[in-house]
Homo-oligomer: A and B are copies of this chain.
Amino acid sequence: MTSVKGMSSRALQAEHTRQQILQTAQRLFVERGYDATSLQLIADEMGLTKAAVYYHFRVKSELLHATMKPGIERINAVADEAAALRGRRARIEHVVSGVADFLVENRHYAVMAATDPAAKRHDMDKETSDLRERILTLFYGDNPTATQRLAYAAVAGIPDSLPELVELSDDELREALRETMLRILRV
């Protein structure tokens, strides 16, 4: 999506601005939530105008979409790898590792992606819930028990609580995440 090679210097500048807007938007979405983040605010924080933001993103929801896309793609790739493995245990371990790494690298962002009401509206809904459903099936097959589903739900809810664990180092967090997720998912 973000091809850089063979672009004019003007196009490169545009891509740079686009990325900066995305970064600012992402930070504000995390801090205040999507609905409470206006385009005006995003523009002000960057010393741009609303119109400049609109040049790069046609509608506000495109910012949300673009913000979440890399994460979804990355976890989908992890799921691809897990699907190629044999055995529940191996699959669970692979996904748990991949997700733990991802969460550690995106400690703040992941919260918003998992909980913001705006993400439940818009089409984003489908991509994330498809991904969740896909991994659930990968783990427990087509007919998971209530207990399995709830265990999965508990793990899926962990990102929600990452802000409360700020005082853990990356390594501590990753280890605790792996350990806890594995323990919960072995049902």
Interface of chain A residues 25 through 52 with chain B (CB within 8 A): 32-36
Expressed in whole angstroms, the Cα–Cα distance for A173 and B150 within the complex equals 9
Expressed in whole angstroms, the Cα–Cα distance for A149 and B132 within the complex equals 24
In the complex, are the beta carbons of B33 and A179 less than 8 A apart? no
Number of copies: 2
Q: Which residues of B contact A160 (CB under 8 A)?
A: 114-115, 153, 156-157, 160
Complex interface bits, A91-111 against B, C-beta within 8 A gives 1, otherwise 0: 000000000000000000000
Minimum CB distance partner of A168 in chain B: B146
Expressed in whole angstroms, the Cα–Cα distance for A151 and B150 within the complex equals 14
CB within 8 Å of B: which residues of A? 32-36, 112, 114-118, 120-121, 132, 146-147, 149-162, 164-165, 168, 172-173, 175-177, 179-180, 183-184
Q: Which residues of B contact A115 (CB under 8 A)?
A: 115-117, 160
Q: Is the interface of A mostly helix, strand, loop or mixed?
A: helix
Expressed in whole angstroms, the Cα–Cα distance for A116 and B116 within the complex equals 6
B146, B147, B153, B165: the one contacting A153 at CB < 8 Å is B165
In the complex, are the beta carbons of A161 and B157 less than 8 A apart? yes
Expressed in whole angstroms, the Cα–Cα distance for A160 and B128 within the complex equals 14
Q: Which 3 pairs of residues, A with B, have the shortest CB-CB distance? A: A157-B157, A33-B117, A153-B161
In the complex, are the beta carbons of A161 and B156 less than 8 A apart? yes
B121, B149, B156: the one contacting A36 at CB < 8 Å is B121
Q: Which residues of B contact A159 (CB under 8 A)?
A: 157
In the complex, are the beta carbons of B33 and A118 less than 8 A apart? yes
Task: Give the shortest distance, in Å, between A110 (CB) and chain B (any CB).
Answer: 12
Q: Which residues of B contact A32 (CB under 8 A)?
A: 117, 121
